[in-house]
Structure 1
Amino acid sequence: NDQHLFENSINSEGTDVDIFKDEFNEEFLQINVEAANIEVENELAIEQFFNIRILKQNRKDMIEEDSVVNPQRPTSSTNKD
């Protein structure tokens, strides 16, 4: 009879371990999902950073082109003789 009780307690502990394993695996999966989301956000941030750099460069190029096409006219204050 004691043997039977002993086996039952082992089984119930085994069940606790299984529950713990399931919870651990679930948490581990959740962490993996969060890590994957962070990676995606990081890639998007890098992409945005490069897009902003491209936009800034394009704007700079446009300003340079504009200054070549339309050189600054001297203002009236510099024309005074």
Structure 2
Amino acid sequence: MEHIQAHLDVLVGGQPAAVPANIGIDRTHGTVSPSHTHDRSGEIHSELSVKRQFSLGESFSEWQVSLSPTNSAD
């Protein structure tokens, strides 16, 4: 199992914004996305059974927040 942890700091209008807990975790269905958070620390967990590259975009997709060259939140 490949397990990578990375820290993400988010600024909105130059001010720190918390990365929510439980991004990518569906407790109702008992599923966990390969890219997820457990708490509001900003730590992103990336876990897969095979080694591959993870992107920041995957984390933002799980968060359901837009990430593009001209927009970083909706």
TM-score under structure 1 normalisation? 0.15
Which one has the bigger strand percentage? 2
**Higher Rg of the two aligned structures:** 1
Greater relative contact order (CA < 8 Å, ≥ 6 in sequence): 2
